[in-house]
């Protein structure tokens, strides 16, 4: 069964490039970005792991931990990590799970038999400090992910979790947001005393709360 938003992310204990990871314990009170890779020593994956490594500090600022998944063994990860550093100019600085038994791949539905029965597809799960799944993305093996989009979604989730707002299409951190329909005009006046642009009764645009 496909994991759905709001469900508790399944726990697991698997070896990684940074030792044994018991997922819920490792997560603690942080956010997490859990992402799978079709296989070691593949070109698109190599660029992705390097990109995440280069921008790890941006995830750190948001209180979000990175953790990768591959069904290849630790011995393979070790050699591949050298290629990542050589070709991408960044060394692996977050755990990469060695999911040889496909425990994580099966728990999180990362194997799509009609796409490839042996490899994981490119999945992304954003998980909050309550261990709940807040976003899922699935890419085909041939398409690399967009790190900017993943950071953008974390910004949106963290902002909308604190304030009764939603973020519009193509929103970037610092831009105007939308007051959610469940907030009455009376409550909105208290929450947003500077006022808002009422484009319709249900589309009320307001400056992003600090």
Q: What is the pLDDT of residues 79-114, one digit of tens each?
A: 999 999 999 999 999 999 999 888 998 899 887 655
User: Cβ contacts of residue 186 below 8 Å, gap of 6+?
Assistant: none
Is residue 44 within 8 Å of 34, Cβ to Cβ?
no
Closest CA to 134 of 32, 25, 60: 32
Q: Are strands 165-166 and 177-179 parallel, antiparallel or unpaired?
A: antiparallel
Cα–Cα distance, 155 to 31 (Å, whole number): 11
pLDDT (tens digit per residue) in 116-139 = 545 556 899 999 999 999 999 998
pLDDT at 28: 97
Catalytically annotated residues: 45
Q: Give the mean model confidence (pLDDT) for residues 185-207.
A: 95
């Amino acid at each position: 069964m496909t994991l759905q938003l709001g469900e508790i992310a399944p726990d697991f204990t698997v070896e990684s490039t940074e030792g044994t990871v018991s997922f819920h314990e490792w997560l603690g009170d942080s956010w997490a970005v859990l992402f799978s890779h079709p296989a070691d020593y593949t070109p698109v994956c190599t660029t992705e792991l390097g990109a995440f490594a280069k921008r790890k500090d941006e995830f750190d600022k948001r209180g979000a931990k990175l953790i990768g998944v591959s069904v290849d063994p630790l011995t393979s990860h070790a050699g591949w990590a050298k290629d990542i550093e050589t070709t991408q100019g960044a060394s692996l600085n977050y755990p990469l799970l060695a999911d040889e038994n496909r425990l994580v791949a099966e728990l999180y539905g990362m194997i799509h038999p009609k796409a490839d029965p042996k490899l994981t597809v490119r999945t992304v799960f954003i998980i909050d400090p309550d261990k709940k799944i807040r976003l899922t993305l699935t890419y085909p093996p041939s398409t690399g992910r967009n790190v900017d989009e993943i950071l953008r979604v974390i910004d949106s989730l963290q902002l909308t979790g604190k304030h009764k707002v939603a973020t519009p299409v193509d929103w970037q951190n610092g831009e105007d947001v939308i007051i959610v329909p469940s907030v009455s005009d009376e409550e909105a006046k208290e929450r947003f005393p500077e006022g808002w642009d009422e484009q319709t009764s249900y589309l009320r645009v307001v400056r992003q709360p600090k």
